[in-house]
Structure 1
Amino acid sequence: MNRREFLKRTVVAGIAGGIALTGLNKVETAWAATIAVGTMIDLTKCDGCTGKDLPACVAACRETNRDRFPRPRPEDIRPYWPQKKFEDWSQKQDVTNRLTPYNWTFVQKVEVEHQGKKATVFIPRRCMHCDNPPCANLCPFSAQEKTPEGPVLIDPNTCFGGAKCREVCPWHIPQRQAGVGLYLKVAPKFAGGGVMYKCDLCYNRIINGELPACVDACPKGAIEFGPKEEMRKKARARAAAINGYIYGEKENGGTSTFYVSAVPFTVLHRALMEQKQSPGLPVEVENYLETANGLAQGLLLAPVAGVLAAGLAVYKGMKGDGNNE
Structure 2
Amino acid sequence: MNAKVNRRTFLDRSIKAVGITSIAIAGLPKNIEASTTHQGKQYGTMIDLTLCDGCPHLDTPACVASCRDKNSEHYPNPVKDIPNYWPRKNHEDWSGKKDLTSRLTPYNWTYVQKVIVEDQGNQHELFIQRRCMHCDNPACANLCPFGVHNKTPEGAVVIDRDYCMGGAKCRDVCPWGIPQRQAGVGLYMKILPDYAGGGVMYKCDFCHDLLKEGKLPACQNACPKNAIKVGEKEEMLMAAKSRVQEIHGYLYGEHENGGTSTYYVSPVSFDKINHALIEQNVVDGKLGAPHMEPEVKNMLDTTKGYATSVLVAPIAGIFAAGVLAHKTMKGGNDNEQ
Alignment match of 2:104 (pick from 74, 99, 114): 99
Q: Is residue 2:308 matched to residue 1:297? A: yes
Q: How much does 1:136 deviate?
A: 0.4
Give the fraction of aligned pairs with identical amino acids, expressed as a percent. 59
Q: 1:242 to 1:32 in 2, by over 3 A?
A: closer
Q: Is residue 2:321 matched to residue 1:310? A: yes
Q: Is residue 2:68 matched to residue 1:57? A: no
> Partners in 2 of 1:322 and 1:113 — Cα distance?
63
**Counterpart of 1:39?**
45
What one-letter code is carried by the residue in structure 1 that aligns with 2:209? N
RMSD (Å), alpha carbons? 1.7
> Partners in 1 of 2:333 and 2:76 — Cα distance?
16
Q: How much does 1:33 deviate?
A: 4.6
> Partners in 2 of 1:137 and 1:78 — Cα distance?
29
Count of paired positions: 292
**Counterpart of 1:129?**
134
Q: How much does 1:167 deviate?
A: 0.3
Native 8 Å contact 2:112 2:127 kept in 1: yes
Spell out, residue by residue over 1:302-325, the C-alpha distance to the aligned partner (whole angstroms, 9 max, x if none).
1221112113333555554899xx
Spell out, residue by residue over 1:112-160, the C-alpha distance to the aligned partner (whole angstroms, 9 max, x if none).
1001111211000000000000000001111100112100000011100
> Partners in 2 of 1:318 and 1:178 — Cα distance?
27
Q: 1:136 to 1:321 in 2, by over 3 A?
A: farther
Structure 1 portions without partners, runs of 5+: 1-30
TM-score using structure 2 length: 0.84
**Counterpart of 1:279?**
290
Spell out, residue by residue over 1:153-176, the C-alpha distance to the aligned partner (whole angstroms, 9 max, x if none).
000111000000000000000000
**Counterpart of 1:166?**
171
Q: 1:309 to 1:321 in 2, by over 3 A?
A: farther
Larger RCO (alpha carbons 8 Å, 6+ apart): 2
Alignment match of 1:203 (pick from 205, 208, 212): 208
Native 8 Å contact 2:39 2:153 kept in 1: no
> Partners in 2 of 1:318 and 1:241 — Cα distance?
56
Native 8 Å contact 1:98 1:106 kept in 2: yes
Moved more, 128-137 or 140-149: 140-149
Q: How much does 1:103 deviate?
A: 0.3
Q: 1:198 to 1:205 in 2, by over 3 A?
A: same
What one-letter code is carried by the residue in structure 2 that aligns with 1:142? G
Structure 2 portions without partners, runs of 5+: 1-36, 284-288
What one-letter code is carried by the residue in structure 1 that aligns with 2:46? M
What one-letter code is carried by the residue in structure 1 that aligns with 2:304? N
